Chains A and B, each alone.
Chain A
Amino acid sequence: MSSRILNWFKFSSPASFYPLAGTIGRVSTLIAVALLAVGLYMSFFVAPTDYKQGEGYRIIFIHVPAAWMSMFIYVVMAFWAAMGLVFRTRLSFMMARALAPTGALMTFIALWTGAFWGKPMWGTWWVWDARLTSELILFFLYVGYIALQGAIPDVRRGDRAGAILLLVGVVNIPIIYFSVKWWNTLHQGASVSIREGSSMSAIMLETMLIMTFAFWAYAIAVAMARVRLIILERERETRWVAELPEVKL
């Protein structure tokens, strides 16, 4: 048990995590590219045409994974924030910081593809449906976090302030989600149901899962690349950074 704890904390040091992040990043990039190729091929050529929505439904293979990732990444960021505040590990804050732009990007993709899906299917770019609204608010939360990080020049303060904001946000997300849901359902039923008429066929579900894993691998790859840059930036005065082959030349 104790050796395992020791192992974990070994990698909480930026110097020992830096090469590991490189390996994880490379592997994730390969996985992401492979899964994306398979997933995109399946979503365009293998998955059958939907009997109700025609070809237009295929945007689901981007839309749903992005929406899942957008929520998941926020929770992961909050996890790192909590780790950072509890164990005072610098790397945890760096992880949270590295994930934020990807999370915001995923939220944006989910909203954008949703609008493109909504226009042909519902006849409108936007409805004030509970899910759409809460996704929009999630986007605001990401933007707030990034803005706060950008506004604080002091790294240590920025890290911890951002972590508190993330924890406050993660407590609020269920409240926001349910309030938005009740807000919409209390005075009228949703005029457009977001659920599809039929349950999904197996091949569609498989394609969607492959795409989700592809997005997942992409998020890890990008976060690792970003965290490596953050480490280099913050540790630029140290010796081990000066001795890195990529820094030396």
Chain B
Amino acid sequence: MFSAFFTILRRDLLLAMRRRSDVFTTLFFFVIVVSLFPLGIGPELETLRLIAPGVFWVAALLASMLALEKLFLVDYQDGALEQMLLAPQPLSLLVLGKVAAHWLITGLPLVLLSPLLGLQYDLPGETIGVLLLTLLLGTPALSLIGAIGAALTLGLRGGGVLVSLLVLPLYIPVLIFGAGAVEAEASGLGGIGHLTLLGAIGLAALVAAPLATSAALRVSAE
């Protein structure tokens, strides 16, 4: 059964590698948004250090959301999605494969680049470590939750804007605990509580989101 999961995963990664611009678009969007804040707020390192967790997390949220539109759209347009709906394997497993590939393409590069951007915000080494960890734990949850929104708005006109309206409120817990962990660590309180909750949200999303996404796909693609 899991071979279906890995097949989808490999297929989507291969497709993404054939068209690399999508990967870079999301990544550079993240970099640009993060770089815009110092320009808007001012270059005082004291302030930047204070707002860094929030800025990084909001930028990650927006970047993750921006990439959602493409998640099912290409498959929907060329008919591959219909085949997935008809496949004997459980749809939620295939969805999980697609989401995993999506995260590897759009989420992971941004997580890996964040320490470098953290240096721009003059964050100390430990805080950068926690930031990396929260993004690593949190961005998969963003992809999972976002997939529901992507499935619901599949093929609609203006779907991209609509997705933000549906998905951003649901992202709030991830934002709170992600940015909260970094903040708590930086202020010496220890971010472990936040991190565990972030992990819990990720696991809950892992269980529930593929089911909701496949239900939404069946509605949207019929």
Interface, chain A (partner B; CB < 8 A): 137, 140-141, 143-144, 147-148, 151-152, 157, 160-161, 164-165, 167-169, 171-172, 175-176, 179-180, 182-183, 186-187
Contacts and interface: CB of A to CB of B under 8 A. Distances in A.
Interface string B190-219: 000110010001001000100010011001
A73 B172 CA distance: 22
Contacts, number: 79
A187 B184 contact: yes
Contacts of B201: 175
> Most chain-B CB neighbours within 10 Å: which of A168, A172, A175, A176?
A168
26 contacts: A137-B169, A137-B172, A147-B162, A147-B166, A148-B152, A151-B157, A151-B158, A151-B162, A157-B220, A157-B222, A160-B219, A164-B148, A164-B212, A164-B215, A165-B152, A168-B212, A172-B170, A172-B173, A175-B204, A176-B169, A179-B176, A179-B177, A183-B176, A186-B180, A187-B184, A187-B189
Q: Which 8 pairs, one residue from A and one from B, show the smallest C-beta to C-beta distance?
A: A179-B173, A140-B169, A160-B219, A183-B176, A144-B166, A144-B165, A179-B176, A161-B152
A223 B35 CA distance: 48
Interface of B: 148, 152-153, 156-159, 162, 165-166, 168-170, 172-173, 176-177, 180, 183-184, 187, 189, 193-194, 197, 201, 204, 208, 212, 215-216, 219-220, 222
Given A143-B165, A171-B208, A187-B183, A161 B219 contact: yes
B207 to A, nearest CB: 11
Nearest to A181: B176
Contacts of B165: 140, 143-144, 147-148
Contacts of A152: 156
A85 B35 CA distance: 45
A160 to B, nearest CB: 4
Contacts of A168: 148, 170, 212
Contacts of B166: 144, 147-148, 165
B176 A140 contact: no
Contacts of B212: 164, 167-168
B219 A157 contact: yes
Contacts of A161: 152, 216, 219-220
Contacts of B222: 157
Given A161-B152, A168-B170, A187-B187, 12 more contacts: A147-B165, A148-B153, A151-B157, A157-B220, A161-B216, A161-B220, A164-B148, A164-B152, A171-B208, A176-B170, A179-B177, A187-B183
Nearest to B174: A179
Contacts of B148: 164-165, 168
A186 to B, nearest CB: 7
A161 B159 CA distance: 13
B220 to A, nearest CB: 7
A149 to B, nearest CB: 11
A152 B157 CA distance: 9
A164 B216 contact: yes
A144 B172 contact: no
Nearest to B152: A161
Given A175-B201, A186-B184, A187-B183, A151 B172 contact: no
Contacts of B219: 157, 160-161, 164
A180 B208 contact: no
A179 B200 CA distance: 12
Contacts of B189: 187
Contacts of A160: 219
A38 B172 CA distance: 41
Contact of A180 (B172, B183, B184): B172
Contacts of A175: 173, 201, 204
B206 to A, nearest CB: 14
Given A157-B219, A172-B170, A183 B156 contact: no
A172 B148 CA distance: 13
A85 to B, nearest CB: 8
B169 A180 contact: no
A180 B171 CA distance: 12
B180 A183 contact: yes
A187 B197 CA distance: 16
